[in-house]
Structures are given as C-alpha cells and as structure tokens.
Amino acid sequence: MGDSHLSSLIRLSIGGKKFCTTIDTLTRREPDSMLAAMFSGRHTLCQDSEKGHVFVDRDGKHFRHILNWLRDGVVPTLTDAEYSELGREAEYYQLLGLIDGISSVLNKRKEEEESHAELTRTDIIKCIQSERVRFRGVNLSGLDLSKLDLSFVDFSFACLKNVFFSRANLQCAKFRGRCEFTGANLRGALLAGANLQSANLQDACLIDCSFCGADLRSAHLQTADLTDANLEGANLEGANLKGAKLSNANLKGANLQRAYLRHVNLRDTHLEGAKLDGANLLGAIR
C-alpha cells in the first residue's frame, strides 16, 4: 500500500508556487481536462530538480481553488474580479465544469442584484391602503405591481427596473428625480397626469399606455415601445425618443419641442396640433 500510495502523489510547481495532490484528484472529476491529459501517462512532464515537482508555467494564485474544485466540486466564493482571474485559469486547464460553475454563480449574483427589491407586493398593497403613500428612493426592482391602484403615489428617485406595472393605475403618480424604469412593463397602465420628468423609460414596454397630460419633459424613451399609446396633450419637451416605436400612438396636442426624433417612424403617428418647434427630425419618416 505504501509504494502505491506514494506513486499516486504528485508534487506541482505552478509558476513557482508548490502544491501536493494525487493523480486521482487531477483526473477523476474532469477527465477531459488538460490536467487529466498531462497525468494520463501519455505525455512527458517537465520536472524541476527540487523534489521532482512537475512545473506548469502559470500563475499559482488561484490554483488552490482549482484543486479544491477537483476534490469537492464546490465553486469558491470570490469577488467578480477574482472570478474573472479564476475563469482564465479554468479555461487554460480546460476545466469545463468549473467554467460553467463560475458562470452560474455570476449570473445568479447579477439576478439577485437586479431583483433585490426592498418591499414585496404584499407590502405595497398594505402601504397603498394608507392615505398618503411615498416610495421615494426605494428599490422595487422586479416586483409584480400589475393591476394595482397606485394613483398619486410618490415614486420619486425609486428604482423601478423590470417592474411589472401592466394595467396598473398610476394616474397623477410622481416619478421625479430620473426614476429608473429601464425594461419595465407598463403595458396598458394609466399614467394620465403623472410626473415623469427626466424619468428613464429606456426599453420599457409602454404599449397601449395612457399618458394624457403627463409630464415627460427630458424623459429617456430610447427604444421604448409606445405602440397604441395615448400621449394626447403630454409634455415631451426635450425628451429622447431615439429608436422608439410610435405606431398608431396618439400625440395630438403634445409638446414635442426640442424632442429627439431622429430616424423615428412617425408615419402612423397622430400628430395633429403637436408642437414640434426645435425638434430634431433628421431622417424621421413622416
């Protein structure tokens, strides 16, 4: 047993940093990796003179994490920058399982960061039953607030990324302070008279929304979908509508002075009585 045990031990020098492990550890979990191929017996290995260490010309900083992965199959808890470094080493050693594990952890971390709302839908319902409701500066990312009566609620400075507001009543709600609506779904929401000055509605779904008389001055509406939306009498002065979809949108009497409408398709948009003084209409289809 002694000779067999000793022969299975492998001493490694990874960029000068010394490690001791076994052939079984290096080959069992990831049999198609470069490390498994190195110790399959089919290759001549480069050994230094000191205690027969097998030399690999790589930075040894993260090699202990690689060994622990091969031993236990557990992805270590690291910073994003450290994961990037470990990922490069995993790619070099062709450790596909570790590469997938790192990717999974990073994706989960990103989802948690984007969807870490401070309140639940139930909390919101309890709050809106109060006489005066404020969610100023609150992170509500990813919440389903569809079909709720949120009229007159103050959402100023709130983070509303990817919030589901479909068919919600947001009449006269306040969204001051460049509210973050990126990717939010407001399909069919009622926003008549809402204060959305400087709000970020980029990539938002605004299909069939009602913005009658809403304040959208300097709002960011790039690539937002405003198909069938009602913006009659809305104030869109200085708003950025680059790439927005405005098919059959109602902009009658809307203030579009100094709005950015370059290359926007306005052919099926209702613009009767709209103010377009100083609007950037270069390349717009009318």
Q: What is the CATH number of the domain that holds 93?
A: 3.30.710.10
Length reported for the chain: 286
d(CA 181, CA 203) in angstroms, rounded, equals 9
- Percentage of residues in the chain with pLDDT exceeding 70? 90
30, 115, 205, 243, 248 from 163: Cα distances, Å? 41, 9, 11, 22, 25
Residue ranges in the chain modelled with pLDDT below 70 = 1-7, 43-44, 46-51, 112-117, 129-131, 177-178
247 three-state secondary structure: coil
- Per-residue pLDDT, 109: 80
Same domain, 77 and 121: no
Same domain, 173 and 86: no
Same domain, 221 and 260: yes
d(CA 73, CA 65) in angstroms, rounded, equals 10
- Model confidence pLDDT, tens digit, residues 25-49: 999 999 999 999 988 877 667 666 5
Residue type, 262: R
- Per-residue pLDDT, 1: 38
Can you tell me which residue has the tokens 């919101």?
A: 124
- Domain coverage including residue 239: 116-286
The burial class, CB within 10 Å (0-12 / 13-18 / 19+), for 37 is middle
Q: What is the CATH number of the domain that holds 151?
A: 2.160.20.80
- Per-residue pLDDT, 284: 87
67, 89, 114 - which closes a domain: 114
Closest CA to 186 of 154, 126, 227: 227
Same domain, 93 and 141: no
Same domain, 7 and 64: yes
Per-residue burial over 102-115, b if 16 or more Cβ lie within 10 Å, else e, is beebeeeeeeeebe
Same domain, 141 and 275: yes
Same domain, 192 and 257: yes
Number of folded domains in the chain?
2
- Model confidence pLDDT, tens digit, residues 73-89: 999 999 988 999 999 99
- Per-residue pLDDT, 63: 96
Same domain, 191 and 56: no
- Per-residue pLDDT, 95: 95
84, 114, 144 - which closes a domain: 114
Same domain, 185 and 261: yes
58, 88, 114 - which closes a domain: 114
Model confidence pTM above 0.75: no
E strands along 25-94, which residues? Answer: 54-56
**C-beta pairs of 239-242 under 8 Å, 24+ apart in sequence:** none
Same domain, 21 and 80: yes
Same domain, 179 and 84: no
Same domain, 264 and 129: yes
